[in-house]
Structure 1
Amino acid sequence: MPRTAKFNYDYKKGSPWPYETLISQFDFPILKTEEQIQEEREQAGGLIVPYYRFSNEVTTSVIKNVQGLDLGKYNRIRPAVVTRLSDIYARGVISDAPVRVQHGSAKISEDIICIQKDKRAATYPRSEVYKVSDAKDQLVSVLASAYPSVNLDSLFRRSGVYNGIIPNLVYDAAMTNLAHVESDDYISPTLGYVKADEKIVSNGEIVTAEIAQVLDSYKEEYNKVFGYGGPRVLLYLGNGLIALVLVVLLYFCILFAKPSIFETGQRYFYLLFLFLLSTVVTCMAERFAPSILFLIP
């Protein structure tokens, strides 16, 4: 009879697994619970990753500006200043001013930022880029060992080097809001994967919350792989047609093997009753006690 596959295992968290060791028949994803998805959605909604665009134009402008500055008697250190400043701008410089958001209680991430460079966006640790004030300090720090006799801080203030250091990572509020909305809307429904032939649970092992989650996921995938996904009415119609065909076959078997049975209708109806009784018992056994299914004659 056409039928849907049935995951014939009953289990409860905190109880031992009463069946044989269960081995996965196929690869399947471990699905997150509704509580886990809701928790991740709340966490994603409470933290916003700021989005910046890397500006090559600003970087080029800053370097050209420094190359044209008059450092007086210290013009000899200009090439070193340009080199170090280029290294700083290659990593990125952001504004000292805090970023403002419009998402209620949501906060801007202080650990991660997103940078779009050459049409590609990627996340980076906030520590990998400089604020404007950090860039100034870094410039003085890396040059101080090479020029210990020069008051670099005073020189850079007087010559305008500091004034020329501006952010080349431009904050994009629209993309920040869009990326936040998309990340809030999409939460991955899976935790990981179990491969075929991997052990899921052993006989007698306590079914913990983690094991129950894997079993629930396996059951879900099992029903998709072996189950019937079409309209239920077609399934019932198929069952009815096959049952009708079997009854007709029984009729012709009797007709050609022993037609005398039809001389008294009671004999034929008795056979139909046995046929129906066997079908009902089989269906009940399949539903409530599959282990005794093969004991039914």
Structure 2
Amino acid sequence: MNDFINKLYRNHSLIYKGLLFIVTTFLIVYLFPKSGKFKYSFEKGKPWQSENLQAPFDFAIKKADEEIALEKKTITENATLYFDLDTVIVRRIKKKYPEIFYENFSDSIYNRQKEILLKVGEQIISELYKYGVLTGSYDFNDEKSVVILDGRVEKHKTIYSNLTHQDKITPIIERVLLDQNLNAYKSDFVSLFFDLIEPNLVYDKSFTEKVLNEELNKISYTRGSIAKETLIISKGEIIEGDKFQILKSLQSEFESQVWNESNYNWILFAYTLLVALALLMLLLFLRKYRLDVFENNTKVTFIFFNIFLMVLLTTLVINYNSQYIYVVPICILPLVFKAFFDARLGLFSHVITVLLLGSIVPNSYEYMFLQIIAGIVTILTVSELYKRANLFISVGQITLIYIIAYFAFFVIHEGSVETIKWQTFGLFVLCGFATLFVQPLIYAYEKLFGLVSDVSLLELSDTNSKLLKELSNKAPGTFHHSLNVANLAESSANEIRANAMLARVGALYHDIGKMKNPTYFIENQSTGINPHDELSAKESARIIVDHVINGIEIAKKHNLPDRVVDFIRTHHGSSLVYYFYMKEKEIDPDAIKADFCYPGPKPFSKETAILMMCDSVEAASKSLKNPTSTKIDAFVESIINKQIEDGQFLNANITFKEIQSIKKVLKHKLANIYHLRIEYPE
């Protein structure tokens, strides 16, 4: 039992990765559509590449979305408006009219004329209420068909312009009076009807919409059908018009069929295999090319989490409206991975994610082409992410690539630009703005996963930070040495295309352990007194070696990232404190060499190897007397060759060619530092 537990403990990292792999696979499969996928790939305007296709079953030909939209538009535009009529109002007005008429017209008008005017007024009422007077003003087309309901019973059928609007009352009065040659009484009648007329037509919106919806529901979404084994399309035939719509109908019918339990399980199993295969390729890539990332469970979790997050966001957008698919900023993925890891890992993970999304997005070939091209552009254009201008320029380039590629695909599919959907370009611009969210996202990831990006490294490189201020106060000589090493390391890293910012920050903090006993290090001895004179060689060596351990403790206390602590841990590797070892050998020829060696580990990256070279060369350069170009060259060669002979760079992925380039930089820099000056006159 104990052996089993010990075996589990020894392999707990692999067990965790296995569980993470299984959980991520099932989560992604859960988001995938649970139906079959049409096995044929086709595009409008292109030849049919497969063999002759016959209908595998009976299916209806679906109308195109544009055709259905046009039918809906036509029905909506020709829809009948329904108004409710209040008959009581008309009866009340007709009854009230004679009384008001005699009140408004003076007694000076003789009776015969009054009777004529009274009848004219009744005629005006009839004209006004022929169909009814509206309660308000509505924005309907004058030719719209109108039905007037009296208690849900159709009373009149007319057009909207025949109804009496409030602003039509005066023109109707004028027209009736003009026909009777009674224009002289216009103001009297207008005044009379202003107080008398009441609206009696109310727009019945709910009933109108109900009837409209009934008409819309009658729309047939299909036109005709295809019988089983009917030839649909022949090989090489151009896919356009009805052929394209029939193929789309077959695809839709195939993917929307109600699958039985057996089919469902097989589809689920097949999707699981595909997703598992893609994620397995990612794990194998990490194990072969990024072993340091593979062995770090936090980093592997981070990578899998981001891939799942992109699949989740894309699925949510597709479920809402697949037209907005290009709003999802997939290019955030390579940006984030490049910020925390490297470009190669960023691109590989991006491609794996796009391949996974190809199973759920419409127009999968077009989508995958656009996203992979955009990912490549992201990797190639984004450098030094901590510089804000670089991110904006890169996002602009990514957006431009999206637009160009989409334009090319549209022209290939449609054969013209007349029907191009300009709003899609707006989606690409929105995607660009969403990609800018990568900066706060990187900050959040740093806090959640304990990772370090170049943005954080830029902050750590500030020499006014609390820890570097303390170093400059307690150990000014060490601080000056660290600045010189930082400049050398940055130049060397730039020369071999390593992470210059990381190398600089590592160099700034590599000797912070000397703050504990600053006077025991020669660069901080300003009084001429050397405390090592009072100690044995072993004690002195232990103090010198302990500055690495002390540095790690101080770094942990101040929450420096592990990437920076690695420089403190490795900058001397397993090298020998040569001076005190030789001093001890003078006293004891059998002195144990291991007592005078640093504990390691040896440098395990290009950046940490660069620091070891720069640190040794800069420190030893102080001992040069009358430095010349020849002396400096021999001096640099001697120190770095000794480190190579000791095997200090065996664990670092650095080549001899790169070491030669670093030597060249160090020789050039030291030659500039120790250049001869002319003697100034006193």
More strand by share: 1
Q: State the structure with bigger RCO (CA 8 A, min sep 6), 1 or 2.
A: 1
TM-score normalised by L of structure 2: 0.23
More helix by share: 2
